[in-house]
C-alpha cells in the first residue's frame, strides 16, 4: 500500500503533467500568466474555508493552493528562472532574516537563545527590515512596493497602513466616521448634479474611507465584504424559498413584498450570525 505522498512526489507529478511526451495537453499549454486567475481563486477558497470554519476540507483547499506554487516552480525550472528548491531557500532565508528575535545568530540551526521580546518590538523590527529590503530593491517612498495587483480593498488598507506608520492617520475612528459622512454628502451632491465622472470619484472616496474604518476596527475589509455577501445570499435565498413555496418567483413580487420578506428573513437570524 502506498505510504503518504511527499513534496517530492508532487514535484514528480507536476513534471509528468508538463512532459511533452505523454503529458496533459491542458497543463502543457499553460503559462505563468494563464494560471494567475486560478491562483487567486484558490487563495480565496482557502480564505472562505477558514471564514466558514470548514476545517474538514481546509487541507484540500490548501493543497490546491500549494499546487499553484508547484506549477510556477515547474514553469520556472523549464525556462531556467528558478526551481522549487530555490523558492524554498529564498523563503527560509527571508524568514530567518525577518525574525532576528528568534534567530539572533542569523542561522536557522544556530544558537537561537535570544531571550524574550514583546510583540510591539517584533512588529517594529519587521517593518524596519521590510523597509531595508525595499530600499535594496530600489523601491523608495513610503508607499513603494504595495502590489498593484491586490484586490482594491486590500490594497487600500495596505496603503493606509503604510501612511499611518509615518503619522498620516486619524487619531481614532471618530474622525473616520465623520469623513464617511462627508463623503456620502459629496456623493449625493454629485449624483444630484448628474455628473457621472464626479460621482464615480466620490464613490471611490467613500469606499476608501470605509476601508479606513475597517482598518481602525482592526477588521479585514475584504473579509468583511465577503461576510456581507454571504449574508445577502442567505437572506435572499430565504426570500426565494418563501416565494417558491407559493409557486412564485422574485420577479412575480413587487418591491414592497420583497422588502417584507427580506425583513422577515433578517428577523429570523441570530444576531452576529456569520454563516
Q: What cell does 45 get? A: 477558497
Mean pLDDT of the chain: 91
pLDDT value for 240: 96
Same domain, 212 and 168: yes
Same domain, 69 and 24: yes
pLDDT value for 92: 96
Let me know if residue 236 belongs to a domain.
yes
Residue 149 banded pLDDT, cuts 50, 70, 90: confident
Distance CA 199, CA 7 (A): 51
**Does residue 237 have a pLDDT over 60?**
yes
Where a domain ends, among 36, 60, 82?
Answer: 82
**Does residue 19 have a pLDDT over 80?**
yes
Query: Which of 77-86, 148-157, 264-273: highest mean pLDDT?
Result: 77-86
Let me know if residue 16 belongs to a domain.
yes
Compute the average pLDDT of residues 88-117: 86
Where a domain ends, among 30, 58, 82?
Answer: 82
Same domain, 201 and 240: no
Let me know if residue 260 belongs to a domain.
yes
DSSP 32: T
Q: Note every long-range contact of 82-91, with CB atoms under 8 Å and residues 24 or more positions apart, other chains counting.
A: 84/7, 84/11
Same domain, 212 and 230: no
Compute the average pLDDT of residues 226-248: 95
Q: How many domains does the chain have?
A: 3
**Does residue 76 have a pLDDT over 60?**
yes
CATH code: domain of residue 182: 1.10.287.1080
Let me know if residue 36 belongs to a domain.
yes
pLDDT value for 234: 94
**Does residue 238 have a pLDDT over 80?**
yes
Distance CA 265, CA 122 (A): 46
Let me know if residue 101 belongs to a domain.
no
Let me know if residue 107 belongs to a domain.
no
In 3D, which of 272, 268, 242, 275 has the Cα closest to residue 257? 242
In the chain, the percentage of residues whose pLDDT exceeds 90 is 75
Same domain, 214 and 248: no
What are the tens digits of pLDDT across the range 200-220? Answer: 999 999 999 999 999 999 999
Let me know if residue 50 belongs to a domain.
yes
> Residue 6: CA atoms inside 13 Å, Cβ hemisphere, count?
2
Q: What domain range includes position 167?
A: 152-219
> Residue 184: CA atoms inside 13 Å, Cβ hemisphere, count?
7
Residue 131 banded pLDDT, cuts 50, 70, 90: confident
Let me know if residue 138 belongs to a domain.
no
What are the DSSP calls for 130-164, one per residue? HHHHHHHTT--STTTT--TTS-HHHHHHHHHHHHH
Q: What is the pTM of this model?
A: 0.69
Amino acid at each position: 500500500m502506498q505510504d503518504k505522498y511527499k513534496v517530492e512526489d508532487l514535484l514528480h507529478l507536476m513534471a509528468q503533467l508538463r512532459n511533452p511526451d505523454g503529458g496533459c495537453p491542458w497543463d502543457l499549454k499553460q503559462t505563468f500568466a494563464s494560471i494567475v486567475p486560478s491562483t487567486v481563486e484558490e487563495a480565496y477558497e482557502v480564505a472562505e474555508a477558514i471564514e466558514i470554519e470548514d476545517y474538514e476540507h481546509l487541507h484540500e483547499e490548501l493543497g490546491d493552493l500549494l499546487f499553484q506554487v508547484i506549477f510556477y516552480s515547474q514553469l520556472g525550472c523549464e525556462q531556467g528562472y528558478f526551481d522549487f528548491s530555490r523558492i524554498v531557500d529564498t523563503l527560509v532565508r527571508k524568514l530567518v532574516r525577518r525574525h532576528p528575535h528568534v534567530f539572533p545568530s542569523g542561522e536557522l540551526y544556530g544558537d537561537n537563545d535570544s531571550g524574550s521580546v514583546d510583540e510591539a518590538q517584533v512588529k517594529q523590527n519587521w517593518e524596519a527590515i521590510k523597509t531595508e529590503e525595499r530600499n535594496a530593491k530600489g523601491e523608495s517612498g513610503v508607499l513603494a512596493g504595495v502590489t498593484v495587483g491586490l484586490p482594491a480593498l486590500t490594497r487600500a488598507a495596505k496603503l493606509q497602513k503604510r501612511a499611518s506608520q509615518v503619522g498620516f492617520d486619524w487619531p481614532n475612528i471618530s474622525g473616520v466616521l465623520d469623513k464617511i459622512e462627508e463623503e456620502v454628502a459629496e456623493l449625493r451632491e454629485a449624483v444630484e448634479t448628474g455628473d457621472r465622472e464626479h460621482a464615480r470619484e466620490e464613490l471611490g472616496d467613500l469606499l476608501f474611507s470605509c476601508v479606513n474604518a475597517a482598518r481602525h476596527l482592526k477588521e479585514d475589509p475584504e473579509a468583511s465584504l465577503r461576510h456581507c455577501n454571504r449574508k445577502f445570499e442567505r437572506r435572499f435565498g430565504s426570500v426565494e424559498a418563501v416565494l417558491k413555496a407559493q409557486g412564485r418567483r422574485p420577479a412575480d413580487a413587487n418591491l414592497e413584498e420583497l422588502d417584507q420578506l427580506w425583513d422577515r428573513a433578517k428577523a429570523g437570524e441570530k444576531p452576529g450570525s456569520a454563516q
